[in-house]
Amino acid sequence: MLILASLIACTGPSDSAATPTPTVSFVSPHEGDQFVTGAPIALSIAVDNFLLSDPAKHNEGEPEGYLHLSWTDGATSDSLDTESTTPSIQIDTAHDWTLTADLRFADGDGMDEVFSDFVPATVGITVVADTSGA
């Protein structure tokens, strides 16, 4: 009986509570928002169940990583890796763009390697030419 008690004490708490799937969503901009070419576009992104850290750091096995932001108009694309949930980007081409916020583990692996139900956030915006003459 003593052996059984020691074995139970060494195994620690039960892992019956599954780790919740991380989520990412755009707080702003909103679907269909318009911006002027060359002007900073302030983003606000909500992240839950995941700790953001410096993309240059590598903490293997830890539930942390960074935001991988990308934007494309179908022909042109760009991206930014950041630990900030309030970064700014600049788009210099007038067009309809799709912004994507994805979470990556510190080693660059995507969430889908651990969480099959993880879905990156997307939002569509329009960038129009600056006609102010400034």
Residue spans of alpha helices (H) in the chain: 2-11
- Enter the pTM of the model: 0.81
Are 34 and 128 within 8 A, CB to CB?
A: yes
Cα(121)–Cα(127) distance, rounded to whole angstroms?
19
Mean pLDDT of 38-47: 96
The enclosing domain of 88 has a CATH number of: 2.60.40.10
Report if residue 44 sits inside a domain.
yes
- Quote the number of domains for the chain: 1
Write down the pLDDT at residue 64: 85
Report if residue 88 sits inside a domain.
yes
What pLDDT digit, counting tens, does each position of 28-37 carry?
999 999 999 9
120: pLDDT strictly greater than 70: yes
Report if residue 37 sits inside a domain.
yes
Report if residue 122 sits inside a domain.
yes
pLDDT band at 23 (very low <50, low <70, confident <90, very high): very high
Are 54 and 80 within 8 A, CB to CB?
A: no
What pLDDT digit, counting tens, does each position of 64-109 carry?
899 999 999 999 999 999 999 999 999 999 999 999 999 998 888 8
Backbone phi and psi for residue 58, each to the nearest 5 degrees, phi listed first: -130, 105
Report if residue 10 sits inside a domain.
no
Domain span at 52: 21-128
